[in-house]
Chain A
Amino acid sequence: MDEVLLRSLTPGVLAVLVRRGADFAAAEDAVQDALVEALRAWPADPPHDPKGWLVTVAWRRFLDAARADAARRRREDAVSADPAVPAPGSGAAVDDTLQLYFLCAHPSLTPSSAVALTLRAVGGLTTRQIADAYLVPEATMAQRISRAKRTVAGVRFDRPGDVATVLRVLYLVFNEGYSGDVDLAVEAIRLTRQLAAAIDHPEVAGLLALMLLHHARRAARTNPDGGLVPLAEQDRGRWDTSAIAEGVDILQAALARDRLGEFQAQAAIAALHADAPTAEETDWVQIVEWYDELARLTDNPVVRLNRAVAVGEADGPRAGLAALAELDDSLPRYAAVAAYLHERDGDLATAARRYAEAARKASNLAERDHLTRQAARLNTRLNAGRSR
């Protein structure tokens, strides 16, 4: 049983039901029922046309549920009598799928609701899988999803949506880290690929390239104990070269269209890192230029913080510290950047103090452990120097 195939069919099936006039929440329930049924029935009796099978079963489930409800039955009658509703099977399935992405990322949803709804309705994950991934009880996730469905229930399905909101949601999924049996980064890449196939948009390509380039380095990013390995110390032999090549190809095609956006610029930076055979050979000058582009495209202060790191590499730690001084020191990771630049500038005592401060402010365990080790490393050196 190919669960990935099943999931990839989900948005298309859901979209067909909605186009036939099913309301979103009821259609989504029916599709989930059909998926469960497929998992049960397919191993013994694989269908010739999996999508057609799912549409048939889901539509039957939807009609059963609708018949059980008087109000819904009236709506169903109205739909079947409405000549404006296209006949089943007609129309552009691709556009329907796209509408589904827009609906699940609708601006009326909070980020966590949009993420949950996207994974469920577009990704075809079960509520349990999503709950596990986000470490919340299944009942909580079920409520989050049904509230999200209610929120978008009144949204018309025929208006074009905002690609930027969809991309933000997919990037949130990708960047969440993961803990359950579903790898959210892989899931985000799959959904972004699907989106890229449905829509021709340079920023969609940019996000896909960015994800592939980051994902390519994942194996090298942690040591066997789960500790963080900084970029400069990563074993580049463990980077996934085919994912890098694919990411670079996608990015180049996107950049060639001359409609630069935030994700393309970020992907360009990731590509420059991926392109360097050693950390020393990294083209920091070009990376700074891309950060300047990125700063023009977004007012995100984290971009300027990262730019300060790149300036420190391109023009030396003093220049990096000068760029840092222009920023608000309450930014997340400000202390960590300051520590790094002070160490490179030879001021070990300040660096040790800032590393310890950064560790206290870290929001995740792996990062805190890493920063604590940096502080400990410098303090050990400083103490050895004193006792000599």
Chain B
Amino acid sequence: MAKYLLLKHYRGAPEAVNCVPMDQWTPEEVTAHVQFMRDFASRLEQTGEFVDAQALAPEGTYVRYDGEGRPPVTDGPFPETKDLIAGWMVIDVDSYERAVELAGELSAAPGAGGEPIHEWLELRPFLTEPPTVTE
């Protein structure tokens, strides 16, 4: 019973094996991909392991405090060096092995040519509530 975050990157993760930008796929391949993601989430709902999933727009902005009485500084969208998060899924599973298994399945989402993308997903455990017994 531990929660894990599956992070999908636009950029910042190692390159996928079947790395063709989505806009170069056929419409059917895009549909198949989207359907796979939906089916995956709904399957996890049925197993009682689904917590949350959200997609993020690729445009993000870095913001920083710039001192008393001044508006925050922004670096504008799209600096080329940033990591970009495409979205996340949160799962609640019985073991780390199960989390790895599910991340592996999600990484096999179909892409160009209907072949699995083999993209890298980042798997991060959530920090939990402190257990009742700590000493």
Contact = CB atoms under 8 A, between A and B. Distances in A.
Interface of A: 110-113, 115-116, 134-137, 139-141, 143-145, 147, 172, 174-179, 184-185, 214-215, 218, 221, 228, 230-231, 273, 362-368
B21 interface: no
B51 A112 contact: no
Nearest to A133: B129
A143 B129 contact: no
Contacts of B49: 140
Contacts of A145: 48
A109 to B, nearest CB: 10
A363 B94 contact: no
Interface string B25-53: 00000000000000000000111111110
Contact of A364 (B1, B45, B130): B130
B134 interface: yes
A365 B132 contact: no
A179 B129 contact: yes
16 contacts: A111-B1, A112-B94, A115-B1, A116-B48, A134-B1, A134-B92, A136-B50, A143-B46, A144-B48, A145-B48, A147-B47, A215-B132, A218-B132, A221-B134, A228-B134, A366-B130
A209 to B, nearest CB: 13
Count chain B CB atoms within 10 A of each CB in A145, A215, A363 and give the residue with the most.
A363
B131 interface: yes
A206 B107 CA distance: 46
B113 interface: no
B132 A174 contact: yes
* Interface residue SS majority, chain A: helix
A214 B1 contact: no
A367 B45 contact: no
B96 to A, nearest CB: 11
Interface string B1-34: 1010000000000000000000000000000000
B44 to A, nearest CB: 8
A280 to B, nearest CB: 16
B51 A177 contact: no
A368 to B, nearest CB: 7
Contacts of A136: 48, 50-51, 92
Contact of B48 (A113, A135, A273, A366): A113
A135 B3 contact: yes
B46 A367 contact: no
B128 A214 contact: no
Interface string B121-135: 000010111111111
B42 to A, nearest CB: 10
A178 B127 contact: no
B132 A143 contact: no
Contacts of B131: 175-177, 364
Contacts of A147: 46-48
A364 B130 CA distance: 6
A230 B125 contact: no
Given A147-B47, A177-B132, 10 more contacts: A111-B1, A137-B51, A143-B45, A147-B48, A178-B132, A218-B132, A273-B135, A363-B125, A367-B130, A368-B127
B126 to A, nearest CB: 9
B127 A141 contact: no
A309 to B, nearest CB: 9
The 6 A-B pairs of least Cβ separation, nearest first, read A144-B48, A177-B129, A366-B130, A231-B135, A143-B48, A112-B1
A137 B90 CA distance: 11
Contacts of A228: 130, 134
A82 to B, nearest CB: 34
A26 to B, nearest CB: 20
Contacts of A143: 45-48
B73 to A, nearest CB: 29
B94 A364 contact: no
